Each structure stands twice: as C-alpha cells, then as structure tokens.
Chains A and B, each alone.
Chain A
Amino acid sequence: MAEVTLQGLGKVYRGGTRAVEAVDLHVADGEFIVVVGPSGCGKSTLLRMIAGLETITEGTLLIDGRAVNRLEPAERDIAMVFQNYALYPHMTVFNNMAYGLRNRGERRRVIDSKVHDAAEVLGLSELLQRKPSQLSGGQRQRVAMGRAIVREPKVFLFDEPLSNLDAKLRVQMRLEIKRLQRRIGTTSIYVTHDQVEAMTLADRLVAMRGGKVEQIGAPMELYETPASQFVAGFIGTPPMNMLPARVSGGGAYFGEIRLTDCQQAEGSSVTVGIRPEHMTVEPHDRTPMLGRAELIERLGAETLVHVSLSHPGASVEVVVRCPETQAPEEGSAVSLNLRAKRMVVFDPDGRRVSEVAEAGSAEEPGAAEPGAA
C-alpha cells in the first residue's frame, strides 16, 4: 500500500536523446494507473524508471513520501510483471515465485505459505512443481503475477503484460488482473499500447506521446473530452472522426455547413472531432451533410458505416456507429446527422479549445442538425 509521486520526472540518455520529459503525477494509495501511448512514446522508460531499471536523470520519485531515486530495484519494494514474463526457465513455478522471498531471507515456512496462498488465488496450486516450459502462455502470465504478489510490494508495475497472449486469453487475463487488483488493492502502474486494456483497467489514464504527458484523467474523461487531437485519435476504436473546418462568424464550418460554435480567430482552420456513436446515418437529403456509404462493417452488436463526405474544398472519410437496422446499403448516398453537443474543437496545434462544445447552444445546433429529435 503506497502512494507514488512523480515530480518532474525526466530521462535523457547519455547521447542526449530525451526519452521522458517532466512527468508530474500523483498516484493515490490503491489506485490503478494505466500509462498508454504508441510505441516509442516513453511509457516503458517511465515505468522502468519507477522500477529502478533505468536511472532517473531529472526530477524526483517518491514512494510513500520517500525519495527513492538512488535505491536499487529490490530496495524500492516494487514488483514488476514483464511482457515476456521473464520467468527463470530452470526453476519450478514454486521456486520462481519463492526466489525473491528467499533473497530477502524470509523463513522457509513463511515462503511456503505465501507461495501457496498466491498460487491458490491464481489457480496455480496444481502447477507448482512444473517448469515454465511446461506451461501455457496464460499460465506463465499467472506465474509472473504470482511472483509479483508473493512479495506483497508497495507498488505493482506492469509492462505490457498481456501483449504476448492471444486475443481471447488477453480479455480473460485483463479481467483477472482487474479482479486481483481490486481484491488486494495494491497501487498499480500499468503500461500498455492497447487502448481497450487502458480504458477497462484504469482508475486514471495517463496518455503519453513523444516522452510527454498529453493528458491525465479518468478513462471516460479522456474519451469524452480529450485534451488533444492525439488523445482523441488514440482512445477509442474506431477513433474519433476529425473534420477539417474553418472559423467564420463565431462558428466552425465544414465546407458550407456550420458544425458548431467556435470562438477562434476569424478565418483560422480548426479541426472538429466527433465520436462515431454521436452521428447517425439518415436517408439522403435529410441533412446538408451529404456523403456516400463506402463500406459497411457488421460487428454484430453494432455496425460501422464508413462514409466519405465530399464537399467543395474538403473530402474526408468518417466512421459512423449505428445499430444494424439503421445501416444503409453499401454504396448508397446518405446524409449525416451530427450531435453538436458532443463535438470537440481542436485548434491548429491540435489542442482542444476549452469547453466550446458545451458553450455552444445545444438547442440551436446549427445547420448540421436540422433533422434531429
């Protein structure tokens, strides 16, 4: 049980390459933090700095209020689950889990009971005498978690622990990790590039890009009000649709169509983002937002309609999420209905323009929503 505080944490490699820049984060006791970002965004480096596997070149790392920058990994009282499990291939499952305790000089009886308890929790009791090579991927993953649990560390660190598993197992293990963390309530920091894992596991999400933190917040906060175009595109599948727009007379225009209110400088180009589920497909000519249903993806519970919008001076493809019954014919002409309330406006630098969508009048949604309600 512990709080973890990152104060301006940064990493510059000896050659001058910067991997992580000034990360400030306070992780509350028992909180599940997920750090998410594309590969090379510095998220793994950040985790390894917390673990003590990379030296911290800037800032301070506090675990339970104590600066641990200079401590060895074993002295920080953390446990880490690696992507490729990193089990000791020549040791049995029992010994893999017991090794850390033995190095700490725990009594044999204590080790025995702790390992058996952890094995019980993870359903590994039958496998304690097996070698890692005799286990399936999911079982190995569990052993790796068991190795972390038995040490009863202050912080769990997960480095993309599920990416070596197949899709089905990944979903299952994701749930198990969540249950486990709820049950033992240990502060956890979890790194992944998979936004579904990120959304489902996190109490709070940290979205990173190019070594910098783009946004920190609850998963739904990042989903609904992304701080930047990058976060909007990274969180959610399919990602948020982006419509190029031009500001004119206090509104953002896509071609001739007014999408939403916008207080940006007159004539500047902005991007208007909208989630696939915040649009509906209407029969042709119901709204001025005209397009063609290029492709229909039927996923069962939902149907994704890829609509290409052609407009003088702007051509863009958007994805609409709709129920199967409302799906248009493939190749047919359709028009789109956009909920202005749910739109997010990004300035030319890709930062969200604060609270524009809410400031804009929802009841008078502009030209884009004549057919609503």
Chain B
Amino acid sequence: MNQFTSQQRKLVYLGGMLLLLIPIIFLGLPLDRKGRTSGQIAKLRQELDLGESDLGDIDPSGAAMNLVLLGLRGVAANILWVQADEQKSHKDWAAMRATTESIIRLQPHYTKVWEYNGWNLAYNVSVEWDAVPDRYFWVKEGGKFLQKGVNRNRNSSELLWHSGRIYGSKIGISDEARFFRKFFRVDPDPKFNGGPDPEWNERDDDNYIVAKDWYTRANDVEAQGNRERIMDRTIFRSYPARSQLDYASALQKFGFNEEYDRQVAGRTLSEAEQEVLQVEVRQKLQNQTQVAWKDGFEEWTQKYGQELFNVDWRGNLVTIRLEMGEEEIKDAGKTPDERGLLRAAVLAYQNMQNYRYWRTRALCEAEPETAEAHWLLFAALEEYRKQNLDTAREHAIRVMTLLEGIFKKYPELEVEEDLVEDGMTAIFIWQYAYKLSGERHPTDFPLKAIYDSRQEQLVEYQRLFNRRFLPY
C-alpha cells in the first residue's frame, strides 16, 4: 500500500481537511454586526434574498428535520406525497392533515407545495364533508395553511393571491356562500362564542374586504419585482378593485339578512320590534351598499384603471392604461398606426377584464334609483311574505319601473344576471299579487321586453324566486 504509518496517515488526513476548510471558511464567512462580510456565499445570499430569514419566518423544526435527513429530503418528501395522496383517497383526513404538515416542513420554500395543499384542503377536502360547518372548517384549514405559507415565503405574491382567493371566491361565491359568509362572522365552532375565529377573521370584517387586503398585499409584493406566474398581470392587479365590487354586490344580495340576523343574535323579538329593526337595518344597509359601490367605482376606474401596463400587443410592446381615453391615446401615439395599435390594445384588454361592464355596473349601482329599486324589492318581498298583496304589488311595480329606467340608461346591463333576476322577481310578485287577489294582471307592464326574452329560463327564475322564501 504505502509506507506511511497509521499516525502519519492520520496527520495527512488532518492536513487535507484543514486545507479544504480554508476556502470553505473564506467563502462562507457570515455577516458581521453591520451586515458586512467578505464571505462570497453570504454576500450572494444577501444580494439574492436567499437566506432563510429573508424568505420568511424561520421554522426551526423543519430546518432540524432537513438536517437530520441529510441528503434524503427528496426521498422523504416523495414518500410523504404518496402517503398524503393515499390518505386522501381513503378519506383519512386526520392523517392527511398531519402528513401535509410534515411535507411543508421538508419543503417550506417551495410555494407550489403550499398552493397545492392549501387548495386541496379548502376545496377538495372541504367538499367531501356533508355538513356545511364541517366544510367551512376545512375551508379555514386551507386558508390558514396558506397564510402560514405566506409567513414563510413573504416574497411570494402568488401565495398572497391564493389566500385572497379563498376569502373571496371560496367563501363568497361557492354553493354554500350564504352559510360560509354567515360563518365568517359567526363561527359555528362553539369555542368562538358566536363571534368570528380571530385567527381567520381578525377584524370581524366582510370576507370580500379581507380578500381585498390580501390581494392588495399581493399587488404590493408583486410591484416590488416579485413577479407572479399565475395569470396575465393586468388581470392579477385587478383583484383588489374587483373585491370591492364583489363586496358591494354581496352586501346588496345577502347584506340585509346577514345584518338583521347579527342584530337579532338569537333574541326573540316582538313583531313591532322586528319591524323597527328591519327599517333600521334597511336604512343602514342602503347607505352602506351605495358607499360600497361608489368606492368600487373609484377603485376600479381611479386606481386600477389608471395603472400602467406594458403589454405585448401583436408583437409590439405598448404601454397602456385601461382608463385610457381618446385624448391620451392621441398624445401617446405619434403616428396613426401607433394610435390604432394603442386603441386596439386598450379595447382588447378592457374586454379581457370585462372592464367597461364593471365600470357601468358600479356607476349604475351607485345611483340612488338603483339603490331604491333594490331596497324596494326587499320591501315587496317582505310584504308578499306577509300577504299584504296591495302593498307588495305597489312596491313591485315601482321596482319594475325603476329597473326599466336603469336598463334604458345602461343597456349593456341587460346581460347582468343579478339585476335581471331582481327584475324577474319583481314581475313574479306583481303577477302573483294580482292572481291571489283574483284579478288578471295588465298585459302591458314595465320590463315586459326583458320578461319575454327570458321565457326559456322562466323555470329557473321561478326556482330562484322560491328560494328567496326559504328560511335564511
């Protein structure tokens, strides 16, 4: 072999080790107290924001686990993923939740892991449960899981956006939206004593307002250069304003019942007390909704509409804003071709966001006539429920007249399903009030054109009408 003695060999190994340590120490020197270093690795880590603390909160248990696993982190993560998938198909939710926790300890900065598992819990697991409170629990689990991911990856605009989506669309527009929105303020878990889960809805706010906060945070992080790769940037940045519009829309749709229930809070009220409270809530909500639509219009047109976007339009890089008027296009485009290009780009991107529709909708809803129509419809429904047919008919015809005026003023809103459904509801009340009084309703009436054009969907509108009388 060789002529070294055992001791000499050991000394050679020691020397080799020391020699290798010199470049390692030199390259890996940590930062001093002033944040300076001569270590190249630390410098690069600082420049590229790759340090654990730069990425987000440090998780000592996860870091320890990764160290203990040496190079087997990938293998362990794969095994856990397979396990989690099997547990999901076996509906073993507790085990699946625990496995998910283990996975994120191994892959804390891989944002897709957070995204996938957050979605899995909030959407796929939630829907497997039959009771709505159980479904809501898993939606919360998914949301909280994503928020943990945000804390560990504070530069990820995508995770912030996904968190906002759970608050916004999962709670606000799922089939169980009525229940989820209620539970968001009054958690079904008795340990929260009829209030919200503070970890989930800290300020006891509307779900769309909370979603708006998350989307705004996502936009802030994105604006710092942390690009998202989920969707087109023009759509991504529209979400805070869209949330405000969704908030206004939800207030209009569910606000009265939600607020009324919250005010009653399980008390038993006399009929007179109920009426007083209903008037109070109606006035409060009417005002609140109008303000919400106004704010929505402002945010849609003055904030989002004014943002500059560099877009690739038919092979040309152009800078547009969605609220770009003809004057601005003329100023920005030097030649007729350039102006044509800009005009086409603005139009195309407006179509992509349904920008003009939302602008018109917000404008229309903020008008006093629209607000009056909505609240009169509530009153008509209430009167109809109490079988005060004459009053119900009066309110309904007034709603129909107001809505006809609105559709004349904003014809593009004739495709707006919420507004059309309100109109159809008013027509049904008006027709049934006549029928129940033993009279025939006049053949001509406001909104007749809309009524005639929706004959094929009459059964569906009838179903929606009946649903309004279900106990809330």
Are A and B co-members of a single complex? no
